[in-house]
A and B are shown apart, each in its own frame.
Chain A
Amino acid sequence: MTPTASPHADGAVRVRGVIKTFGVGDAKTVALKGIDFSAAEGELHLVVGPSGCGKTTLLSVVAGTLDWDEGDVSVFGTRLDGMGKGAVTRFRRSNIGFIFQQFNLIPTLTLVENVSVPLLLNGAGRRTAEEKAAQLLKQVGLEGRGNKRPTQLSGGQQQRVAIARALVHEPRLLICDEPTSALDSATGHQIMDILSGVARAPGRCVIIVTHDPRTHRYADRITEMEDGRVTRVLDGAALGEFVSMTH
């Protein structure tokens, strides 16, 4: 499947009127209450808000890893709603890169092997995949460490490996959930530097869910959420004000 090119820059990710409910009866939680959200190409977009407001749920919907109840979701012009599970999986495989709070590197594999996974999933041969993986490791400053295992690295280094893995197959959308919250302040800034440098490329969109106000200044746009809804979208002067206020 080749996603049709987006008609305008604002169309990297579009979410319209999405409702997501967890559980039934008394245990029922409405995590997303008809939410609208959009992110543009070439943009580093932060999603912020109090705990439990639905940030991760929104991210999962955009990533196609979670079904939702109502509303439309399109990523680079491809509608995810109404697409079969298999098609969504294939779409995700080639178009989306993931960075998780807990890194989620496979501990028994070497760094090069970990980074090559997305390429292998996309059908690349082992040699090609590992060469490309080594290149990416170099880009995130881990040259020559390809044969180490994740457990031999610090948290910041592991997250750099995860960034290499998220980018190795050149996805157009990068999805990060709390990429800095398991890291100390200095390391968090390093990671954000890498993300805003390496990840933000023309035609690519980076969405980061975060609790961490130190990350705000890296944003091109910030969407603020509360209780399953978007309360504010900040850019331009309003964004500058927000950053200096929260810093």
Chain B
Amino acid sequence: MYLLALKMLLGDRAKYIMLVGGLTFSSLLMTQQNGVFQGLLSWTTSHMRNMRASIWVVESRVEQVNETKALRDTDVNRVRSVDGVDFAVPLFQGVMKARAADGSDKQVQLIGLHGGTLYGRPAVMVDGDISQLRVPNTVVVDELAAQPTRLGAGLGRSLKVGDTFEINDREARVVGICKTERHFFGYPYVFTSYDQALQYAPRQRKMLSMILAEPKPGIPAEEVARRIAAETGMKAYTVPEFERSTVAWIWRNTGIPASFMTTIILGFVVGVAVSGQTFYSFVLENLKNLGALKAMGAGNGLLAGMLLFQAITVGVIGYGLGLGLTALFGLAVAQSGQPPFKLVPLYLVQTFGAVLVICVLAALFGIRKVARLEPAIVFRG
């Protein structure tokens, strides 16, 4: 009977296409918007993956990695003296104006790494040698910064090792090109030594943005972070903690999640409305047939099962198509990385769950109607 139920629905081309189309659109909207949202959220924590430090020590009011409140220089030593800390280094982080060869100003994310260890350096170098940062007035830029539209402007090509540009009127000579994960602010990364960063940045009383620390082997980072916080009064986050805190900050302080959630909920509502409406009219149009089946001895359970089976089948097809389209979108934007995009398996499963909920809701309207149907109606002309 279930096979025949499917044939009944498939035979009604217009409704079938409407149902699958509605569910595809709804799935697409939900997965694609969630993908962009997750991508955007992951951009907010890209510092952590670009610098790969185990423990991030910040001023006590700082809740997210993109926010800086300056520390005193002496704070580095206070962290170093905490039991369980293998080493701790200063980090400078700030948005600076850089001047390309054509004289145009470009915003960059300047990172000053501890000159001795270069702890926090990018994982992948495309060209050049990062240890050259120990030479004065040198920088390593990421591929984004090197683009002809960014710091390559005026050269007619990408920035290369050996090229120079200016940061706040001081010369910066490129000694390396690296790969980075894109940052939320959209500014490219420029790495230099901590001391050099202080030269580039406008003079202020306190210049230390953060302290990066590594626990001694065998001691969990959480434990060491807890000790640092307790002993210094600063905040110390492990990577997962800082990621969580950053994402939570975005949820609390920006309208970004709300606007994405609105679209996602809209996708859900559209799904319920379109498929519920279509399915209900399918049931209404087939009421006589369903009544005949009922007279012939199909029970409410079987008919409900048939309607659910129909609804879930179109749901699975719609979700599959929606996910497929989302994946195509993902592939299309993967090259440029714009807009950000990240499919999180858990959310895909949840979206599938949401689509099933839509289908069950749609089927329920019909099931209610069928359950109340008197089989005797088939005798009435």
Contact = CB atoms under 8 A, between A and B. Distances in A.
Contacts of B379: 56, 59-60, 65, 100-101, 177
B289 interface: yes
Contacts, number: 83
A63 B295 contact: yes
A85 to B, nearest CB: 9
Contacts of B294: 65
A92 B297 contact: yes
Interface in B271-299: 286, 288-289, 291-299
Given A56-B380, A98-B296, A121 B1 contact: yes
Given A63-B295, A118-B297, A108 B10 contact: yes
A93 B8 contact: no
A89 B380 contact: no
Contacts of A126: 3
A109 B8 contact: yes
Interface in A32-75: 56, 59-60, 63, 65-66
A225 B8 CA distance: 39
A93 B7 contact: no
A59 B378 CA distance: 12
B374 A102 contact: no
Contacts of A102: 288, 381
Interface in A80-124: 86, 89-90, 92-94, 96, 98, 100-102, 104, 106-109, 113, 117-118, 120-122
B210 to A, nearest CB: 67
Contact of B297 (A60, A89, A107, A113): A89
Interface in A106-154: 106-109, 113, 117-118, 120-122, 126
A interface residue count range (under 10 / 10 to 19 / 20 to 34 / 35 or more): 20 to 34
A65 B11 contact: no
Interface in B151-193: none
A226 to B, nearest CB: 19
Given A65-B374, A108-B12, A113 B7 contact: yes
Given A104-B288, A117-B4, A121-B1, A86 B299 contact: yes
Contacts of A93: 296-298
Interface residues of B, number: 28
Interface string B1-36: 101100110111000000000000000000000000
Given A59-B379, A66-B376, A104-B289, A98 B295 contact: yes
Given A102-B381, A113-B7, A120 B292 contact: no
Interface string B343-381: 000000000000000000000000000000011101111
Contact of A121 (B7, B298, B375): B298
Nearest to A209: B379
Contacts of B378: 65, 98, 100, 104
A98 B288 CA distance: 14
Contacts of A63: 295, 376
Given A60-B379, A100-B292, A104-B292, A94 B4 contact: no
B4 A109 contact: yes
B306 to A, nearest CB: 11
Contacts of A100: 292, 378-379
Contacts of B11: 107-109
Interface of A: 56, 59-60, 63, 65-66, 86, 89-90, 92-94, 96, 98, 100-102, 104, 106-109, 113, 117-118, 120-122, 126, 177-178
Interface of B: 1, 3-4, 7-8, 10-12, 286, 288-289, 291-299, 302, 374-376, 378-381
11 contacts: A59-B379, A65-B295, A65-B375, A89-B297, A93-B296, A98-B296, A104-B292, A108-B7, A108-B8, A117-B1, A121-B297
